[in-house]
Amino acid sequence: MACHTLSKYCMSEFQLTTAVAFIIFNRPGSTEKVFREIAKARPPKLLVVSDGPRPNRPDEAEIVAKTREIIKSVDWECEVITNFSESNLGCKKRVSSGIDWVFEQVEECIILEDDCIPHPSFFQYCEQLLEKYRNDNRIMAISGDNFQFGKKRTSYSYYYSRYVHIWGWATWRRAWEKYDVTMGKWPEIKAGNWLQDIIADRPIEQVWRNNFENVYKGNIDTWDYQWTFACWINSGLTILPQVNLISNIGFADQATHTTSQSIFSEMEVEAMEFPLLAPPFMVSNTEADLFTDQKMFYRPLWKRIAARIRTVMAF
């Protein structure tokens, strides 16, 4: 059956030419599922980043090795480059240093982690937008995530957001060069209360103030808050799709951060329609961002108290 080339997605008519970075660790099951979707897209270059086993987990070395073996299943014409750490660096250092390495190899890249399953049209969506906004410094990233739960925010194929969702995304070297894993500019931003200029909502601003402070002090082993910080202080926007293109299957006990069930777990994906219809203006969608604030980041007082009571009772 022929595809409707003017409006529908057709995998057979698209050949990916952009490199894909694949970040893996110790989950062979989910890694294999994501790898199968990458294999369907047949990228010409695959850059694989892996952390090493933790010394206090005696069985993890074997699991990490098993996970890395999956990459050997590449059966299409593809340059495979690996960056495997023998020691465990942790989420913050491994992912940040891994993406640093990726952009030493390529100018632009599509990035997937081992628990983020993309819809096939995600790759074409990323590739076209990487090309379209390649030299537009206002755009820092392209995400495959839509967390609006069916609420249509625009009549276009995508919209702009201040939020940098990283469950399947793409960016350029020119944007990643602004990343600083240490968040060295945070004390100045904090002292000047400049975060209020980015987030007008006081409760949400306080949430992010706490997040950035904890990352800066080393209380949270992560890399992505630093990426959000870099985008914000450079007035950068992220492109988000009108439909959700990524399903996160990583909400499980063995996950590093997503260790419980969530409304964001295993979300349904939809096909992106082509050709892409671009918004005629470049401003963040305040309504969509406010919805994200409430769904992802803000917890009412009663929920915070309930969480605190559960923590105390656990002891």
- Residues 211-233 have pLDDT tens digits of 999 999 999 999 999 999 999 99
Is residue 4 situated within a structural domain? no
pLDDT of 260 reads 54
pLDDT of 307 reads 39
Whether 259 has a pLDDT exceeding 90, the answer reads: no
H-state helical runs in the chain? 28-41, 60-69, 90-105, 121-132, 173-176, 186-191, 195-198, 202-216, 224-233, 286-292, 301-314
Chain segment 90-138, per-residue pLDDT in tens: 999 999 999 999 999 999 999 999 999 999 999 999 999 999 999 999 9
Whether 3 has a pLDDT exceeding 50, the answer reads: no
Is residue 279 situated within a structural domain? yes
Of the ranges 71-75, 118-122, 139-143, 259-263, which one carries the lowest mean pLDDT score? 259-263
pLDDT of 314 reads 45
Chain segment 271-310, per-residue pLDDT in tens: 999 999 999 999 999 999 999 988 887 654 434 434 344 4
Residue span of the structural domain in which 233 resides:
14-314
What six digits make up the tokens of 263? 């409304």
Look at phi and psi of residue 204 and say left if phi exceeds 0, alpha if psi is from -120 to 50, else beta: alpha
Whether 173 has a pLDDT exceeding 70, the answer reads: yes
CA atoms within 13 A on the CB side of 15: 4
Domains: count for the chain: 1
Return the closest-CA partner of residue 98 out of 166, 164, 50.
Answer: 50
How does residue 5 score in pLDDT terms, banded at 50, 70 and 90?
very low
How does residue 198 score in pLDDT terms, banded at 50, 70 and 90?
confident
Is residue 231 situated within a structural domain? yes
3: which residues sit within 8 A by CB, 6+ positions away? 9, 10, 12, 13
Is residue 3 situated within a structural domain? no
Mean pLDDT of the chain: 90
Q: Confirm whether pTM is higher than 0.85.
A: yes
Q: Is the dihedral of CA 138, 139, 145, 149 positive or negative?
A: positive
CATH number reported for the structural domain that contains residue 276 in this entry? 3.90.550.10
Return the closest-CA partner of residue 94 out of 168, 148, 6, 26.
Answer: 26
**Angstrom distance (rounded) from CA 66 to CA 38:** 18
Is residue 1 situated within a structural domain? no
pLDDT of 8 reads 53
Is residue 8 situated within a structural domain? no
Is residue 2 situated within a structural domain? no
Is residue 307 situated within a structural domain? yes
How does residue 197 score in pLDDT terms, banded at 50, 70 and 90?
confident
- Provide the greatest CA pair distance for the chain: 62
Whether 179 has a pLDDT exceeding 80, the answer reads: yes
**Angstrom distance (rounded) from CA 235 to CA 313:** 43
Chain segment 9-57, per-residue pLDDT in tens: 555 589 999 999 999 999 999 999 999 999 999 999 999 999 999 999 9
Q: Are strands 169-172 and 246-248 parallel, antiparallel or unpaired?
A: unpaired
**Angstrom distance (rounded) from CA 163 to CA 232:** 9
